[in-house]
Structure 1
Amino acid sequence: MVAMNLSLAVFNLLPVPPFDGSRIALLFLPQRLYFRAMKYERYIMLAVLALVFLGLLDAPLSWLVNGMWRLMLRLTGFVELLWGY
């Protein structure tokens, strides 16, 4: 379940509209550019879905998920030391 949640979190934080990562990334853009990017949100979503179905995002997403997994293991590795595993 942790791996599935981590995968969904990484996917949702992609900096392309309409994902949540775009809302964060677009905060740093001027308002004019933000609204221009959001105007094409529907088309960008279709393109991202096509990339997912074609498998072209498998390698970058797995690289990001594996990196986050390694980071989580490093940050929580002390728990194993405390319990003697």
Structure 2
Amino acid sequence: MAIEAQQIETLIRAAFPDATVIVSDLAGDGAHFAAEVIDESFRGMNRVQQQRAVYSALRGMMDGSAADLHALALTTKAPD
């Protein structure tokens, strides 16, 4: 089932309300996305910790072979 970038953004914003979030559909198929998440809560975390926090916010959308979200190219960082 295809999803929309807005659905992904809504879930990320729920977990990181003050973040800058940009989500784009890479292939136009509703399954391959890129997201950039910039949030102060990432300060002091390594990249793996940051990305795990974002994946957790997606509430299992990428889990298993029948996942709604097939691929997410994720960029995370604390603000400059």
Q: Same fold (TM over 0.5)?
A: no
Structure with the greater relative contact order (CA < 8 A, sep ≥ 6): 1 or 2? 2
Task: Tell me the TM-score normalized by structure 2.
Answer: 0.25
Of structures 1 and 2, the larger Rg is shown by 1
Task: Tell me the TM-score normalized by structure 1.
Answer: 0.24
